[in-house]
Structure 1
């Protein structure tokens, strides 16, 4: 059965590769025999992750410092990869800013009324424009393969449902100072669903599939009170472990998902159906 999920020798681009989930995507590609190409903003982090993957899984892994909001940097990277590997078989659009509910001492910065245009522009530049640019260039190279390939967009449960702002309330603060999940997170993750549907038909005749997964939240040393509230909203009664999306990512990248195209798959413990 292993051949059903083999990624042997497939060259797979992963953006935001050194982050919490990006590194998990990279690991599962390597576990299945693929060649993870790690893109992120810090070369040192890319090198450390690629070295760890090569040592652990005995596969080739390469890291590149690429700003995916910069089209020239993407074009240069495409040329490097094409020269080194000849082709690309898959792209995982994973990179995104992670706008904090509150990371400023200034007045309720995350609230819509106060949300800075500069942060809006930055978040959309990475999460949406960056994904579009990567699809435009890495996706185009995938479309030149005889057997096509796949694009996987990492959306979120908050691309399907609205954030429950009650989760972020703090006792003792008036309503106009309560922190909230920033608007850009929802906009970016919903936008990726639209991009997925567009790409699913754009290169379909060249056998390039595009799907999206909508992960729920991942446990990552959050406040216990916050965790309790989140868990009460999830039918399975818990948040995800960081490695629990590996199987789904592997399936969607593999030939086992060869007839799956344009799908938006919730992987949120049931939160979005409650």
Structure 2
């Protein structure tokens, strides 16, 4: 098999007015994929609200968004989504400004640093730091619940809305820790993928189904995307090990999920709810 990366992909298959008149709120906008979600939605005509607790991340997201879509309409807000009070305050401020959130992208999550086993506490189950566990659960599960509750209830009142949860292929399969080993053996694993990430991403599938059932009669659609590994200059042995386990023989490029986001956010998926779209290059098969 010829393993390769697909470079310079341009994914703009939706019209510029596909989401005209709609507003989308993206949590964790300052993260790795947050800017790509913002770019995709703004190109399709939506106004985007960029949320993150980190100002530096928001500034970076703004820069990337304006660079790729100079005509983007957006607002940036520093907000702690683990605080019900903070999210409620944001929603009330938007209400007072006659703004509405038609599309909620629950993107915020902590992808824990892969720590070397010789550099102190690692992702090994035996010494997985409890504070790290609590933080991952708080942001990835509680934060998603709070945002869905606050903005989803307003969608239900208007009888329209879309919620998209960003899960992971690690929600439907366990991480093969051998990919983190230069020799692909358990004896030489340099770092472990911690348990919390899989737990959070699995929970989002359950939340997707629950919310889809709960608000379906109110025309609020809830779906999830399960991305596979996205190339971001990972260690060479990790890149090669994952490629060998992926049917398409490569990692995803960061912009390969853009059309899926717009598809789920738009009326193109008007009869779709409660579903989880697996986009992992065939790795989970």
> TM-score with structure 1 length normalisation?
0.92
Once residues 71 and 278 of structure 2 are traced to their aligned partners in structure 1, the CA distance between those partners, rounded to angstroms, is 32
Q: Which residue of 2 aligns with 1:126?
A: 139
Q: Which residue of 1 aligns with 2:272?
A: 260
The structural deviation recorded for 1:34 is: 0.1
- Cα RMSD, aligned residues only: 2.3
Q: Provide the secondary structure at the position in 2 that maps to 1:272.
A: coil
Q: Which residue of 1 aligns with 2:200?
A: 188
Once residues 189 and 255 of structure 2 are traced to their aligned partners in structure 1, the CA distance between those partners, rounded to angstroms, is 35
The structural deviation recorded for 1:142 is: 1.5
Does structure 1 retain, via aligned residues, the 8 Å contact 2:16–2:45?
A: no
The structural deviation recorded for 1:53 is: 3.3
The structural deviation recorded for 1:223 is: 1.1
Q: Which residue of 2 aligns with 1:246?
A: 258
Deviations 1:64-110 (A, max 9, x none): 00011111110111112222243210100000011122167544521
Is 1:138 matched with 2:151? Answer: yes
Q: Provide the secondary structure at the position in 1 that maps to 2:127.
A: coil
Question: After TM superposition, what 4+ stretches of structure 1 lie above 4 angstroms from structure 2?
Answer: 1-5, 103-108, 173-178
Q: 1:221 to 1:241 in 2, by over 3 A?
A: same
Is 1:213 matched with 2:212? Answer: no
Once residues 85 and 269 of structure 1 are traced to their aligned partners in structure 2, the CA distance between those partners, rounded to angstroms, is 41
Once residues 34 and 166 of structure 1 are traced to their aligned partners in structure 2, the CA distance between those partners, rounded to angstroms, is 42
Deviations 1:121-153 (A, max 9, x none): 00000000100001010111121224x111000
Once residues 13 and 178 of structure 1 are traced to their aligned partners in structure 2, the CA distance between those partners, rounded to angstroms, is 37
Once residues 186 and 165 of structure 2 are traced to their aligned partners in structure 1, the CA distance between those partners, rounded to angstroms, is 38
Superposed counterparts of 1:1-274, under 5 Å = 6-47=18-59, 49-50=61-62, 53=65, 56-102=69-115, 106-107=119-120, 109-146=122-159, 148-169=160-181, 175=187, 178-273=190-285
* More displaced 10-residue stretch of structure 1: 105-114 or 193-202: 105-114
Once residues 154 and 5 of structure 1 are traced to their aligned partners in structure 2, the CA distance between those partners, rounded to angstroms, is 24
Deviations 1:144-176 (A, max 9, x none): 224x111000000000111001111356x9859
Does structure 1 retain, via aligned residues, the 8 Å contact 2:181–2:237?
A: no
Q: Provide the secondary structure at the position in 1 that maps to 2:209.
A: helix
The structural deviation recorded for 1:50 is: 3.5
> TM-score with structure 2 length normalisation?
0.88
Q: 1:174 to 1:205 in 2, by over 3 A?
A: closer
Once residues 188 and 135 of structure 2 are traced to their aligned partners in structure 1, the CA distance between those partners, rounded to angstroms, is 24
Ranges in structure 1 where 5+ consecutive residues have no aligned partner: none
Q: 1:104 to 1:69 in 2, by over 3 A?
A: farther
